């Protein structure tokens, strides 16, 4: 009982309990489809609650819903509390093992759930979970009849897309959300340098941001990285209504942020500018008003498994990002693979394989696959590595111009732009097509 | 330099030297195709010499030939002399690792060989190598544009085909090659029991077969298994001309064997019958006349890696075979997974996963793939687990009624039946189609 820890070797024959959530309230037990969420780097209950789309369409499709947790996250820990203890225990944290887990689970469900034997299964996921959905269809087309890969940056790997596109999109989101907004953020880095040149300045800045721990000179890079990640996260969750994904936020949060950053850049002082920046950051960190101080060591929900994801980035998920300060509003920073590799080695004792994702998942050359929808949000920085054009009749792209990170996977909302509504309609249309195809192709017996 | 020992984990970061052979005598350096032999369980030079088809078509296609050795065989030993020392060292002997080796090698060749960057690559293999060719196309369609899987029993796994078909085909080969041939072999097992009931009988039998070591009572099961494997091997290499694949043999060797087994079964004595069996076995083991005695501990060429293949059978390559003595000419023997698993555990410290091949390689459900030819010999017992009907327009089957094990992969020969000649013509036609498709689809840049 349980799923094998190592699908690709036979020395380690231990098993572990993989968590998955099932809802069959609307399921047509006579072979109705299964919508299978391919869990990503976090607690599956959180993804379950943030994937309302599946709940919204279950009745129309007569579908069973399954949300499968990714190994090494949430409660699905192959070695319990030791899972993260060293490189030896982390060795089975790979996307290939996770895909095999999903395949084994789906086959097990079909074998054991009465009525599910011939149920067509559709993989659904967002972000890394979306990459897994697409890859599950690519690698195990016998297990899933199709995949919806929402905001899945399957091309954000070395030599596939320009490393600067990601931050360009972040910048565009701020540029379009308020006058001078990106310009003032671009100027803020120098203002931080200017002000923190003195101890008084450091103290002022710590107070202005209500930081939980006052800044030291040596914290400055970390502080800037924290701010940069704040803007990135805002770009990811720039939803058209109040929501709580990475943080509780107002509707169109970047517009709210930008209200604090509208100064004329030619006349604003460094102090005024950083005052605005601190107000802006508070929109993200303290929308509820319950946050007594800002903590620069975290930027988002605790539901995500940061260490696990870091390990994955340090092994397979090598995603180059870079900034130039011209096409984006950040300080220039090249992609430095060697430095990254060294950091990985000192943290985890492993080194990333820059080419592996391209080899194993096909890179730009995915035309021979079928039944995959890649949906992308025009506001989402991860659309930089997404598939945004049709590859074939059955590997198709949907772009939702005013959508942020996998908006289409969220519950219907009265504030949804019409573009996301039509995206969802189209997605369901493809689902039905795949289900019909699958029933026709079914092997007798 | 070298290829990674573990593609699916990052703890083991060692590399090893994989052997591959290249011929570019006829290669069109301006992007001519690459025919890539996916090596199976043995020394690659031997497969290279027994795959004349690739040499025969190289000029017509302007193709480079590459023969890649499978890890753990020949000289491609991940841990040198220690590679087989224990389950820990054997842990990286899997088909998935081998497929990844091939993909990494192909990408490396394209990157480093001038003119090969855009060369379409076609995977070719026979037997287990043919399974690997098909799977390489299924799992890495970005790396190979198509695959010729010759005599590849991708369906010889649990619950896919009846376990008795294999030996039925062996029996049919003998039945059609001479009057009473299968009937007399079927009777030989009881005759062995009768005669070896006494010590004199044992001695007589050892002498009659010129065995290198005289038979003991406890050797009888082994002796019968050796004979059974002899008949199986003959069925595999029942070629229409003199050849030396598993052993040096005359043309249509089963016909020659059956000349010794034509007695009227109702009048022949046990001694006469086993005399005929020993003559028949000698056709297989001593066609050259250079063999002073018969050795029951081996049945075929030393170019195959038997221990490695046993380990693979004990892990992923679980291929149920069984006999009933009615539809086949062997003693009845059920497929006993538990006994097999226990044997594997005592030999290697691992247990087979009966379901895994089905999960990972799609089982009967391979219709969503493309550009695969499954060629099968009607005489070949392995056709029992082969794909012998078209699955789609581009996953197609070829049956060569008078072909044995991957006859189509051998050099052209004046004695070739016309069915294998047309099979080869059709195979080349598909190759050209795939090459044309690939050139059209090529991603710019």
Cα separation, A274 vs A190, whole angstroms: 10
Answer whether residue B301 shows pLDDT above 50.
yes
- Within a domain: B330: no
Cα separation, A278 vs B188, whole angstroms: 92
Cα separation, A317 vs A310, whole angstroms: 9
Domain that holds residue A189: 164-286
Cα separation, B329 vs B337, whole angstroms: 22
Cα separation, B122 vs B372, whole angstroms: 10
Answer whether residue B127 shows pLDDT above 90.
yes
Answer whether residue A104 shows pLDDT above 60.
yes
Query: What pLDDT is stored for residue B1 in this prediction?
Result: 64
Cα separation, B87 vs B78, whole angstroms: 13
Which residues in A lie closer than 8 A to residue B9 (C-beta atoms)? 8-9, 91-92, 94
Instruction: Please tell me the number of Cα atoms within 13 Å of B96 on its side-chain side.
Output: 23
Interface test with B, best of A15, A102, A368 (most B CBs within 10 A): A368
Last residue of a domain, one of A261, A286, A311: A286
Cα separation, B75 vs B294, whole angstroms: 29
Query: What pLDDT is stored for residue B255 in this prediction?
Result: 98
- Of the candidates B305, B302, B314, B303, the one whose C-alpha atom is nearest the C-alpha of residue B91 is B314
Radius of gyration (Cα) for chain B, nearest Å?
Answer: 23
What is the domain-level CATH number for residue B183?
A: 1.20.120.980
B150 with B170, same domain? no
Confidence of residue A57 (pLDDT cuts 50, 70, 90): very high
Query: For the residues B215-237, what does the mean pLDDT come to?
Result: 96
- Within a domain: A41: yes
Query: What pLDDT is stored for residue A305 in this prediction?
Result: 83
Query: What pLDDT is stored for residue B56 in this prediction?
Result: 98
Last residue of a domain, one of B235, B268, B286: B286
Q: At what angle do helices B52-61 and B418-441 cross, to 10 degrees?
A: 50
Interface test with A, best of B9, B154, B348, B364 (most A CBs within 10 A): B9
Structural domain total, chain B: 2
- Of the candidates A374, A397, A410, A401, the one whose C-alpha atom is nearest the C-alpha of residue A169 is A401
- Within a domain: B295: no
Count of CB atoms situated within 10 Å of the CB of A281? 21
A130 with A226, same domain? no
Whether the Cβ atoms of residue A131 and residue A149 lie closer than 8 Å to each other: yes
Subunit contact B359:A100, Cβ cutoff 8 A: yes
Query: For the residues B146-173, what does the mean pLDDT come to?
Result: 98
A119 with A196, same domain? no
B101 with B237, same domain? no
B247 with B390, same domain? no
Lowest mean pLDDT among A244-253, B117-126, B435-444: B435-444
pLDDT in tens, B177-205: 999 999 999 999 999 999 999 999 999 99
Count of CB atoms situated within 10 Å of the CB of B260? 19
pLDDT in tens, A173-188: 999 999 999 999 999 9
Last residue of a domain, one of A286, A311, A344: A286
Answer whether residue B10 shows pLDDT above 80.
yes
Residue of B nearest to A91 (CA): B9
Query: What pLDDT is stored for residue B442 in this prediction?
Result: 67
Query: For the residues B352-357, what does the mean pLDDT come to?
Result: 97
Inform me whether the C-beta atom of residue B155 falls under 8 Å from chain A C-beta atoms. no
pLDDT in tens, B244-271: 999 999 999 999 999 999 999 999 999 9
Which residues in B lie closer than 8 A to residue A351 (C-beta atoms)? 10, 13
Which residues in A lie closer than 8 A to residue B371 (C-beta atoms)? 368
Cα separation, A381 vs A167, whole angstroms: 7
Tokens of B30: 């301006």
Q: Taking CA B394 as the corner, what is the angle to CA B388 and CA B395, rounded to the nearest 5 degrees? A: 30
B273 with B182, same domain? yes
Confidence of residue A76 (pLDDT cuts 50, 70, 90): very high
Answer whether residue A445 shows pLDDT above 50.
no
Whether the Cβ atoms of residue A316 and residue B9 lie closer than 8 Å to each other: no
- Of the candidates B299, B273, B269, B266, the one whose C-alpha atom is nearest the C-alpha of residue B284 is B299
State the catalytic residues of B: 127, 380, 405
Instruction: Please tell me the number of Cα atoms within 13 Å of B161 on its side-chain side.
Output: 24
- Within a domain: A341: no
Please state, rounded to an integer, the average pLDDT across all residues of chain A: 96
- Within a domain: B127: yes
What is the domain-level CATH number for residue B31?
A: 3.40.50.1820
Interface test with A, best of B13, B87, B142 (most A CBs within 10 A): B142
> Above pLDDT 70, what percent of chain B?
99
DSSP alpha helices (H): ranges in B140-286?
Answer: 165-175, 181-195, 199-208, 220-236, 253-259, 270-285
pLDDT in tens, B21-67: 999 999 999 999 999 999 999 999 999 999 999 999 999 999 999 99
Comparing CB atoms, the residue among A11, A94, A142 nearest residue B362 is: A142
Task: Tell me the whole-structure pTM to 2 decimals.
Answer: 0.95
Comparing CB atoms, the residue among A104, A365, A370 nearest residue B368 is: A370
Q: Which H helix or E strand runs over A423? A: helix A418-441
Confirm whether A405 is a catalytic residue.
Answer: yes
- Within a domain: B301: no
Query: What pLDDT is stored for residue B191 in this prediction?
Result: 97
Lowest mean pLDDT among A171-180, A282-291, A417-426, B354-363: A282-291
Which residues in A lie closer than 8 A to residue B363 (C-beta atoms)? 142
Answer whether residue B445 shows pLDDT above 50.
no
Neighbour order of strands in the sheet with A34-38: A20-23, A64-68, A34-38, A121-126, A146-150, A372-377, A395-400
Summarize chain B as % helix, strand, coil (round to 5).
Answer: 45, 10, 45
Collapsed DSSP state (helix, strand, coil) of residue B96: helix
Q: What is the DSSP letter of A247?
A: S
Cα separation, B84 vs B82, whole angstroms: 6
- Within a domain: A298: no
Residue with tokens 């919204």: A56
Whether the Cβ atoms of residue A215 and residue A226 lie closer than 8 Å to each other: no
pLDDT in tens, B375-396: 999 999 999 999 999 999 999 9
Would you list the DSSP string of B208-230?
Answer: HTTBSS---GGGHHHHHHHHHHH
- Of the candidates A55, A31, A216, A9, the one whose C-alpha atom is nearest the C-alpha of residue A115 is A31
């Amino acid at each position: 009982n349980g799923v094998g820890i190592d699908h690709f070797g036979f020395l380690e024959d231990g098993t572990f309990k993989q968590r998955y959530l099932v809802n069959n309230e609307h399921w047509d037990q006579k072979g109705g489809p299964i919508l299978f969420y391919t869990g990503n780097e976090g607690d599956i209950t959180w993804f379950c609650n943030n994937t309302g789309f599946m709940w919204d369409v279950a009745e129309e499709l007569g579908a069973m819903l399954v949300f499968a947790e990714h190994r090494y996250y949430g409660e699905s820990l192959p070695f319990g509390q030791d899972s993260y203890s060293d490189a030896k225990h982390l060795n089975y944290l790979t996307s290939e093992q996770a895909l095999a887990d999903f395949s084994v689970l789906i086959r097990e469900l079909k074998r054991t759930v009465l009525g599910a034997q011939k149920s067509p299964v559709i993989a659904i996921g967002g972000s890394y979970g979306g990459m897994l959905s697409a890859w599950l269809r690519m690698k195990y087309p016998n297990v899933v009849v199709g995949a919806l890969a929402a905001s899945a940056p399957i091309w954000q790997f070395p030599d596939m897309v320009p490393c600067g596109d990601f931050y360009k999109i972040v910048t565009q989101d701020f540029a379009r959300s308020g006058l001078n907004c990106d310009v003032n953020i671009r100027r803020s880095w120098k203002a931080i340098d200017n002000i923190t040149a003195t101890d008084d300045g450091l103290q002022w800045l710590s107070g202005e941001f209500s930081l939980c721990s006052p800044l030291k000179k040596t914290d400055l890079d970390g502080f800037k990285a924290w701010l940069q990640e704040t803007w990135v996260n805002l770009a990811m969750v720039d939803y058209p209504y109040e929501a709580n994904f990475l943080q509780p936020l107002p509707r169109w949060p970047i517009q709210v942020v930008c209200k604090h950053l509208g100064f004329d850049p030619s006349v604003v002082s460094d102090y005024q500018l950083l005052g605005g920046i601190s107000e802006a950051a508070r929109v993200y960190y303290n929308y509820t008003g319950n946050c007594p101080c800002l903590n620069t060591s975290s930027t988002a929900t605790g539901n995500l498994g940061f260490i696990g994801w870091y390990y994955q980035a340090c092994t397979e998920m090598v995603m180059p990002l870079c900034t130039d300060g011209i096409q984006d509003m950040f300080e220039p920073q090249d992609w430095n693979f060697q430095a990254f590799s060294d950091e990985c080695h000192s943290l985890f004792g492993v080194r990333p394989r820059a080419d592996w994702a391209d080899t194993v998942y096909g890179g730009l050359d995915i035309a021979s696959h079928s039944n995959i929808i890649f949906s992308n949000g025009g506001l989402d920085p991860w659309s930089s590595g997404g598939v945004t054009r049709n590859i074939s009749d059955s590997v198709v792209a949907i772009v939702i111009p005013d959508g942020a990170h996998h908006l289409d996977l969220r519950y219907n909302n009265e504030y949804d732009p019409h573009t996301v509504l039509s995206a969802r309609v189209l997605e369901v249309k493809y689902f039905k097509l795949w289900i019909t195809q699958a029933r026709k192709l079914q092997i007798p017996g």
